[in-house]
Structure 1
Amino acid sequence: MTTAIDRPASPRGGGAGSNGPRSHVLADTLTMLDRTMLHLVRYPGLSVFTIVGPVVILLLFVFVLGGTLGAGLPGVDPAGGRAAYLAYVLPGILAITIAGTAGGTATTVSMDMTQGITARFRTMAIARASVLAGHVLGNTIQALIAVALVLGVGLAIGFRPSAGPLEWLATAGMLALVAFAITWLGVAMGMQAKSVETASNLPLVLTFLPLLGSGFVPADSMPDWLQGFAAYQPFTPIIETLRGLLLSTPLGWSPALAVGWCLVLAVGGYVWSRILYERRSVR
């Protein structure tokens, strides 16, 4: 059985039957997206680990530590306890879930680079931009599926958000934007790595950032020397925005900072990826 990527590429002529270069880029991107989604089905190990890891962390913190950590948290049930800590910590777990998908993204990109798949694509009559775009779109979808499953576990164990329809829509948009930005970073890290093993380890730094922000405890409860970093690193405004939307608490400047950080990360990852891709192309 062959997939679209295994079949000979069609000529890129510009005759009467052609819809122009833009249609070719779109068609090739959809083909690469299809290939990425097939990888998720055929190699489910990375996807399962991406989901199981955050779920284990969620259950550990809520049922083992939540009774103590939930006492006196701001913006949640003043009675404290596990239910209060579940409401507080779940946005941080969702951020860790998205950060964790960068490892799978970097691994699959590195496999394509080290096994010569990307070099093969360069010899085919396909749009160059579609190779990276297919990875980004496919892994963004994977991240959103993982987030939905982790959120489902949170709801199953007692998470009760007070968000209305518009707030849920804004939450979905924020999660998609974060996943898109982190995926671009994962692509760049996968292309930068010299081996698949290195590629799987580089994105680990992203999974630690929610721990060093307001994902599990308020930033102002940390030592003075850590508070500045915790308050202004990328994941803190993202987590505060998700928490405010889901729990209907004041948002302040968090949404603007979160969107700004996402744009910086996405543009940085895109530029980094394109530089590496073009550099490899001329070798």
Structure 2
Amino acid sequence: MTTTPRTAISTVTPAPPHPPARGAGLLVGLRVFTARSLKHSFRDGESLLMAILLPVLLMLIFTYVLGGAMDVGEGGDAAGAREAYLAFVLPAVALIAAGFGASYTSVVVSNDMTTGFMNRLRTMPFPSVTVLLGHAASSMVRNLLATAVVLLVGFAVGFRTDASVPQFLGAVGIIAVWILVITCVFAMLGMVAGSAEAATGYGFILLFLPYISSGFARVETMPAWLRPIAEHQPMTPVIDSSRALLNGRAPGSELWVGMLWCAGLMLLAVWLIAVIFPRKVART
């Protein structure tokens, strides 16, 4: 009689795969979600184009339609006044371009928070916060690109600077700091907004700040009731300090005032994100 040998059945269960270390997961998630956000940005070419085109058109309209009649303290004929006004208005336009680009962040963050994407993220080995970090990194890339386009168009239409290389890089650095700050603020607004449309509405309120600052006219020429608002808001010292550096002048106290504004807004936005974001994710 032939007996069939029995095969021993192992009761040892395989060890589950080890999740990536927290630091590695954060870095991988940052890379993944930055690439995702950039891909969506460039796929939505109309929004990206408008974020760059509108500030450029604004600069050209103000320079060629109003520049000859605007007195920014440089004197000269209409052509000289126009050239002086271009140098005056260019930093404000660069910051407006940053604002338009950063407002897109509020929309995409709101979409992620309200369309179930955060719930799907639970199955991925990445911290949830990497979604916001990816949007922030993508916004920096988009808005630095928009700033470069604005500056190049400014040079193309007659802007000339006496700034040294460190001064020019300092002006770009101030703009980059503002891009980071406004991106965090818009990300926070997108997180608390109930829809992408509401996020867009909140963003438009912030986009009006440059128009009631020293960006397009000297503060001392404004009505008495408007002057305190223009003087005591973050855009005025940021614009004044970047304007001084772009035109080869040393910034005064407005540089430190602007950086204090940036630090305060950044801390407020990050604190609100740290408090609200985990609760929003837990509810999805």
Give % identity: 34
Question: What is aligned with 1:156?
Answer: 156
Per-residue displacement from partner, 1:16-70 (whole Å, max 9, x unpaired)?
xx6x42222112111111111111121112111111110111111011111101x
Displacement after TM superposition at 1:228 (Å): 1.4
CA distance in 1, matches of 2:237, 2:282: 40
Question: What is aligned with 2:58?
Answer: 57
- The 1:158–1:11 alpha-carbon spacing in structure 2 relative to 1, beyond 3 Å, is farther
Displacement after TM superposition at 1:12 (Å): 5.0
AA at the equivalent of 2:126: I
CA distance in 1, matches of 2:63, 2:132: 38
SS of structure 2 residue aligned to 1:282: helix
Question: What is aligned with 2:3?
Answer: none
Larger radius of gyration: 2
Question: What is aligned with 1:266?
Answer: 266
CA distance in 2, matches of 1:166, 1:103: 30
Please say if residues 171 and 243 of structure 2, whose CA atoms lie closer than 8 Å, have aligned partners that are also in contact.
Answer: no
Gaps of 5+ in 1: 1-9
Displacement after TM superposition at 1:97 (Å): 1.0
Question: What is aligned with 1:197?
Answer: 197
CA distance in 2, matches of 1:165, 1:105: 31
CA distance in 1, matches of 2:186, 2:17: 32
AA at the equivalent of 1:38: K
Question: What is aligned with 1:86?
Answer: 86
Per-residue displacement from partner, 1:105-144 (whole Å, max 9, x unpaired)?
1111111122111221134221222111111111111111
Question: What is aligned with 2:132?
Answer: 132
Question: What is aligned with 1:247?
Answer: 247
Q: Give the aligned CA root-mean-square deviation in angstroms.
A: 1.6
CA distance in 1, matches of 2:141, 2:265: 18
Per-residue displacement from partner, 1:74-118 (whole Å, max 9, x unpaired)?
3xx432421111111111111111111232111111111221112
AA at the equivalent of 1:24: G
Which runs of structure 1 show a deviation greater than 4 angstroms over 4 or more consecutive aligned residues? none
CA distance in 2, matches of 1:145, 1:12: 40
CA distance in 2, matches of 1:159, 1:48: 23
SS of structure 1 residue aligned to 2:194: coil
AA at the equivalent of 2:52: I
Displacement after TM superposition at 1:157 (Å): 0.5
Instruction: Give the number of aligned pairs.
Output: 265
Please say if residues 50 and 146 of structure 1, whose CA atoms lie closer than 8 Å, have aligned partners that are also in contact.
Answer: yes
Question: What is aligned with 2:11?
Answer: none
AA at the equivalent of 2:54: G
Please say if residues 189 and 202 of structure 2, whose CA atoms lie closer than 8 Å, have aligned partners that are also in contact.
Answer: yes
SS of structure 2 residue aligned to 1:82: helix
Question: What is aligned with 1:37?
Answer: 38
SS of structure 1 residue aligned to 2:273: helix
Question: What is aligned with 2:12?
Answer: none
Please say if residues 163 and 246 of structure 2, whose CA atoms lie closer than 8 Å, have aligned partners that are also in contact.
Answer: yes
Displacement after TM superposition at 1:191 (Å): 1.1
- The 1:163–1:12 alpha-carbon spacing in structure 2 relative to 1, beyond 3 Å, is farther
SS of structure 1 residue aligned to 2:158: coil
Per-residue displacement from partner, 1:142-195 (whole Å, max 9, x unpaired)?
111111111111111101111111012212211111100000011011111111
Shifted more, 84-93 versus 247-256: the winner is: 247-256
CA distance in 2, matches of 1:12, 1:59: 57
CA distance in 1, matches of 2:220, 2:204: 25
